[in-house]
Amino acid sequence: MSQTVTAEGTTAPGARSLTTLLGQCRAAIVEHLRRVGEATVAELAAELGISEVATRRHLGVLADDGLVATRTVPQGRGRPPAHYQLTEAAARLFPHHYDRFASEALNFLADTHGRDGLRSFLRWRLERQVEDLRDAVTAEDLHERLEQLARALSDAGFEASVSPGDQAFTLTQEHCAIYDVAKDHPEVCAYEAAAFSRVLGHDVTLSRRETLAGGSPACVCTIQPRDVDDSSASRTDDHVTSGTNRWDDPSTSPKGSGDDQ
C-alpha cells in the first residue's frame, strides 16, 4: 500500500488524518486517485495489494459518501471498464492555504491603497454576502429567519446555531471558515455582523462582542426585536449593526474604523 512519506521516512500528518477519517484502504484509494487522476478497479486493487472484490467494496463506501465518481471509457469491443475519480467534495479532504492567500491579498490592499481601500473592498464584499444570504433568509417570523440564517452559515462552514432567550436570541458560530483572515483583519468580523443585520431586517437590533478571531470560544451575536428594547436600537457602540441607527457600513461608526470586535 502506498503512503505519503516525508524525507525523514514517517507518514505525513495529512496522510495520518486522512487514514483516521476514512480508514487505511479507503484513504490509500483517495490518495492514489489524487495523484493519478483516475483508475480502474483492477489498477486500484494492484496498487493496494487487495482483491478486486474488496476494492469494489471500499469504492462503494466512498461513492456513497460522495467522494468518488465513475466514468466509462469506450475501448472497442466488450464492456468498457469503469474509471474512478475523485469528486469536488473529496478535494476538501486535503489541506489548502486559501486563508493565507486571502490574508496576504488584504495586507497588500491595505498597504497599497490604505485603510480606505480595504474598507471599500469590505463594503463590496458585504453587498455580495447580503445578496447571497437574502435568498436563504425569507421567513416572516424572526426565530425562523434566524434558523434560516444559521443553516446558511452552517452550509458555508461556520457551524451556526440559534438559542432563544426571554427577550432575545443568540446566534452562535462555533467555527470560522475564514479564521486566519479574520484574526489578521478583525474588521472582517464587523462587516460580517453588518451583513447579518441587513439580512435580518430593520425590525431587530444585533450586537456582537465575542468572536473566535478575538480569542473567544465562539462568535456570538445577540438579536433582539426592536420593540423589546427600543433604547438598544439607538446605541452607537462599535458592535451594534442593526436597529434605527444600524450601521450598514461599520466604517461609519463613531471610531470610524469598524475594526473593534
Tell me what pLDDT residue 11 has: 36
Closest CA to 209 of 167, 171, 247, 166: 171
Give the amino acid at 141.
Answer: D
Give yes or no on whether 13-93 and 98-252 have one common fold.
Answer: no
Percent of the chain with pLDDT over 90: 51
Asked whether 47 and 30 are in contact (CB, 8 A), the reply is no
Closest CA to 116 of 246, 252, 260: 252
Residue bearing the bigger pLDDT, 31 or 145: 145
97-123 pLDDT, tens per residue? 667 788 889 999 999 999 899 999 999
Residue bearing the bigger pLDDT, 133 or 236: 133
98-252 placed in CATH 3.40.50: no
Q: What architecture (CATH level 2) is domain 13-93?
A: Orthogonal Bundle (1.10)
Which sequence spans correspond to the domains of the chain? Answer: 13-93, 98-252
Tell me what pLDDT residue 180 has: 83
Tell me what pLDDT residue 89 has: 82
Answering whether pTM is above 0.75, one says no
CB neighbour list of residue 164: distance below 8 Å, 6 or more residues apart: 143
163-178 pLDDT, tens per residue? 999 899 999 999 888 8
Q: Average pLDDT in the 203-218 region? A: 92
